[in-house]
Amino acid sequence: MVNILSTSNSLLHHFVAELRDVEIQNDRMRFRRNLERIGEIAAYEISKTMIFENTDVTTPLGIATVPLMQSQPVLGTILRAGLPLHQGLLNYFDQADNAFISAYRRHHKDGSFDIHLQYLSSPPIAGRILILSDPMLATGQSLVETYKAMLESGQPAHTHVVAAIASRQGIEYVKANLPDDLTIWVAAVDEELTAQSYIVPGLGDAGDLAFGEKK
């Protein structure tokens, strides 16, 4: 299932517009905060799919019965660009366990590339809800390789993928290469992917815009 969060009008459009705007992008703090806001919106929507049970809460004047989530998910993200989006999810799933993965494109002289994973730190995820976040879902290769690597920590009960901007090609690649028990949440979908596998119009390099240019 693919959920495009911008199909109806909301403040989300403002956050995405500011992420894309070359002038506003000069403000790194605002860029990070807008990714964080998208993570918060996605977390709220994903929470509606979780299992809740009625729980009695003691107030100063009596007992209130409130439906509460039975368990917290595992939040995983791809370093470094995914950190602000991850923080937005963590702001709402504030008791969640966390996983971190270092992955990057290793380019070759012929213009092709493969995905290289350097580091993975994850709690056990067997039978749990896994939420993987990456701000840009371009080709989808990084996400697929990350998911496969995380299976070393167990088979999740269900996986949610959260992205700010996705390409149509990236979504189709993920759908074709990951199990059916997967839900994709994106703020916006762009149709074009360049020969270098960058999303157009996209927003540029999310990692550089959030944290500064790398070598």
Gap between the Cα atoms of 108 and 91, Å rounded: 38
The pTM for the full model equals 0.90
Q: Are strands 97-107 and 74-79 parallel, antiparallel or unpaired?
A: parallel
Q: Highest mean pLDDT: which of 38-47, 139-148, 189-198?
A: 38-47
* CA torsion through residues 180, 182, 187, 190, sign: negative
Gap between the Cα atoms of 172 and 144, Å rounded: 12
Residues 6+ apart with CB under 8 A from 2: 171, 175, 183, 184, 186
Q: Which domains does the chain have, with CATH numbers?
A: 2-211 (3.40.50.2020)
pLDDT tens per residue across span 55-109:
999 999 999 999 999 999 999 999 889 999 999 999 999 999 999 998 766 655 6
pLDDT tens per residue across span 106-130:
655 665 666 667 788 889 999 999 9
Single-letter amino acid, residue 150: M
